Amino acid sequence: MLEIYAGKNALKTIQEQGFKQELFTNFLGASGGPKWFILFGLDKYLFGDFFKNRSAELNLIGSSAGAFRAAALTQNDPVQAIERLAYTYANTVYSAKPSPQEISKQAVFIVDQLFAENGTNEIINNNVFKAHFLVAKCNGLTSFDNKIMQGAGLINSMLLNKIDRRLLGKQYQRYIFQHPNSNLIIKDPYNFSNVYETLTPDNIKSALLASGSIPMVMSGIKDIKGSKNGTYRDGGIIDYHFDFSLSSNRSDKQRTSKRSPENGTTESRHELTLYPHFSSEPKAGWFDKSSSRKVLASSYENTVLLAPSEKFIQSLPYGKIPDRTDFTKLDAPTRIKYWLKVLEETDKLAECFNEFVIKQDITKIKAFQP
C-alpha cells in the first residue's frame, strides 16, 4: 500500500539508528493541486501522532499545495487545520467556465478558512514546526496577466527548460517566505537565485496565495508587502517536486546559490528530510512534468520519500489520484463524492506507515534511484 524510499545517507542513518522522528529536521510538500489528497491520512498521522511531542525544530517547506499543507500543519491543531483545508478545497465549486479572477477569489476563501481566527499568529509563533512557502517571482512576459503575453512567456520558459533547467533563472527567481527564526538554506545545484523573506502578519496570506497561483489559471499576486515589487506566482514553476538539498547552517545563507551540495560542509546524514509524495518519481519543475529529465540523486541523499503504491492507487475510484482535470471532467456532485472517498481511503496509508514504525522493518525501505 505504502512504498518507502531513502537516499543513500538516509538509508545508512536509519539502518544504524532505526526509523524515528528525531532523525528528521525537514519536511517537504510538493505542488500538484488536489493530488495531495492522497497524502491526507499521512499528514494527519504524522502531525497528530508521529511528530506530536516533538521539541526540536522541524522545517516544513512547500510549494503550491505543499505550501498550503505547511500552513495547516504548523498551526496549533494541525489535524483540525489540515481537515479544514481538505474539506474546504474538496467542496469547492466553480462556474462552468471560471475566469482567473473567480478561481483566485475562491483561493482567498480557502486561505481564510484555513487560517481561521488565529492561524497567522500560530504559524509565525511556532518555534518547533516552522513554515516555509516557495514562490516564483516572474520576470518579462510571464509577469503579465494578459493571457497572450503570459502564454508567450510560458512557451519561452518551456523551450529554455528543454535546453537547460538553469536557463529558467532568466525568467524566474525563487522566493522563500520563511518563519522569522528559520536558519534553513536551499542548496540548489541549478543555481537559481534564492531570496529569503520573513513571514509577517502583513505578508503571510499573500505569500501563500502566490505559492498556489497557477499560471494562466489564476491571477498573479502583485507586490507582496515587504518584498520587491513585481508579480509572484506558483512556487511549482521552479519547484514542482524539488531538485535541491537542504541545510540549516545560517552562515551559508548568503552564499548558498554559489555552492553545490557536494561542496557543502553542513550536510549530515543525521539531518534528514521526510517527503510524503504522491509519486515515487519526482520531477524538478513544472516544465518537467512531461519530460524524461530525472532529479539528481545528490538532491535526495538525505531524503526519505513516502509514496502510495500503484496497487493502492488502482483501488481508488476511477483508479487514479484526484487532479485538477476533475473540475472539468466530472460534474460537481460526482467529483466531490469521489474526492471525499479518497480522503477517507487515505487513512489506510497512515495505518500502513504506523505499522512500519512500530515493527521497524527496515528491510521494507527501498534505495531511492531517480
pLDDT tens per residue across span 280-302: 999 999 999 988 999 999 999 99
In a domain, 115, yes or no: yes
In this structure, are strands 194-198 and 172-178 parallel, antiparallel, or unpaired?
Answer: parallel
Cell numbers at 225, concatenated: 508587502
* Average pLDDT over every residue of 241-262: 61
- With contact defined as beta carbons under 8 Å apart, do 120 and 359 qualify? no
Range of the domain at 67: 22-250+270-294
Higher pLDDT: 270 or 237? It is 237
In a domain, 152, yes or no: yes
pTM for the whole structure? 0.93
Number of domains in the chain: 1
- With contact defined as beta carbons under 8 Å apart, do 131 and 74 qualify? yes
Measured torsion, CA atoms of residues 132, 295, 324, 345, in degrees rounded to the nearest 10: -80
Nearest to 293 by CA among 129, 187, 168, 205: 168
322 backbone dihedrals φ, ψ, rounded to 5°? -55, 150
Whole-number Å distance between alpha carbons of 85 and 113: 7
* Average pLDDT over every residue of 330-336: 97
Whole-number Å distance between alpha carbons of 276 and 320: 17
Which pLDDT score, from 0 to 100, does residue 293 have? 93
In a domain, 345, yes or no: no
Report pLDDT digits (tens) over 169-213. Answer: 999 999 999 999 999 999 999 999 999 999 999 999 999 999 999
Mean pLDDT, rounded, of the chain: 93
* Average pLDDT over every residue of 334-340: 98
Q: pLDDT band at residue 271, thresholds of 50, 70 and 90?
A: confident
Asked whether residue 345 carries a pLDDT value surpassing 50, the answer given is: yes
Q: pLDDT band at residue 140, thresholds of 50, 70 and 90?
A: very high
- With contact defined as beta carbons under 8 Å apart, do 242 and 282 qualify? yes
Question: Which run of H or of E encompasses 134?
Answer: strand 129-138
* Average pLDDT over every residue of 91-120: 96
